[in-house]
């Protein structure tokens, strides 16, 4: 979702899930690497303002988006603002700017170990566990580049294991961020937030409302894409 594009800057919003591709993006708010690649090509030479309110999503998609934004930042200013929530892989994207991300005192960052759903025999499941361990090291490396003074990556690892929610002030104890003034809270849109285990009490109602809205929107988008696929099949047969 892009807003306020000018000759010198553009605003980019991560207000939904971080998805692998177009077919996984069931809501307009969802983002995926190909969409970000196209966006950056169109906004080449411009400074970016990035706004995040996301429960996360695909680790590989998020890492790809992080890398693309970092490359854009080698020639342009990239400023990240967490409007409500930067959870899971969205917390990694929060560090893609050329300066400290801004997290208001009443906004949140959530960090945790990556997880997945898997099926197969014992060998398959052991490999999946090993793969998750390797994936986690990539996330550690990014967090380690943005630690507050005196904080070690081992401390962050423990927070990730426990699925830790940090408001702006708490996040500043562990990461090199700018604590912003309170903002009007907005519910994060997407499916991934509902999978969290330790949603803060003050966010539960927002998460439930967002989940219900996301489910309705996803159902509508699924029906739309099924109709589109049917039209393509019929067209090709004709």
Token pair for residue 32? 């995926």
Backbone angles phi, psi at 32, to 5 degrees: -150, 160
- Is residue 19 within 8 Å of residue 31, measured between CB atoms? yes
- Is residue 177 within 8 Å of residue 154, measured between CB atoms? no
Mark whether 112 is an active-site residue.
yes
Rounded Cα–Cα distance for residues 93 and 87 (Å):
10
Rounded Cα–Cα distance for residues 79 and 224 (Å):
35
SS3 182: coil
Mark whether 9 is an active-site residue.
no
Token pair for residue 224? 């739309």
Catalytic residue among 88, 91, 146, 198: 88
Catalytic residue among 112, 146, 198, 205: 112
- Is residue 196 within 8 Å of residue 206, measured between CB atoms? no
Q: How far apart are the first and last CA of the chain?
A: 36
Rounded Cα–Cα distance for residues 128 and 114 (Å):
11
Rounded Cα–Cα distance for residues 30 and 14 (Å):
7
Token pair for residue 70? 């970092």
Which residues are the active-site residues? 88, 112
């Amino acid at each position: 979702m892009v807003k306020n594009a000018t000759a010198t800057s553009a605003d980019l919003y991560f207000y939904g899930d971080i998805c692998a591709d177009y077919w996984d993006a069931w809501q307009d708010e969802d983002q995926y690497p190909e969409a970000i690649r196209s966006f950056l090509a169109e906004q080449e030479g411009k400074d970016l303002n990035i706004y995040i309110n996301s429960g996360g999503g695909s680790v590989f998609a998020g890492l790809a988006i992080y890398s693309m934004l970092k490359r854009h930042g080698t020639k342009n200013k990239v400023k990240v603002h967490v409007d409500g929530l930067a959870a899971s892989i969205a917390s990694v994207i929060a560090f893609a700017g050329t300066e400290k991300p801004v997290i208001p005192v009443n906004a949140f960052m959530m960090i945790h170990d990556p997880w997945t759903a898997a099926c197969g025999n014992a060998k398959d499941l052991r490999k999946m566990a090993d793969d998750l361990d390797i994936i986690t090291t990539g996330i550690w490396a990014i967090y380690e580049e943005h630690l507050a003074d005196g904080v070690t990556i081992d401390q962050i690892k423990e927070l990730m294991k426990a699925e830790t929610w940090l408001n702006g002030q708490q996040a500043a104890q562990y990461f090199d961020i700018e604590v912003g003034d309170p903002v009007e809270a907005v519910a994060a849109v997407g499916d991934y937030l509902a999978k969290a285990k330790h949603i803060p009490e003050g966010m539960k109602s927002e998460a439930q409302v967002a989940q219900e809205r996301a489910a309705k929107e996803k159902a509508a988008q699924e029906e739309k894409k099924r109709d589109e696929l049917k039209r393509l099949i019929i067209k090709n047969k004709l």
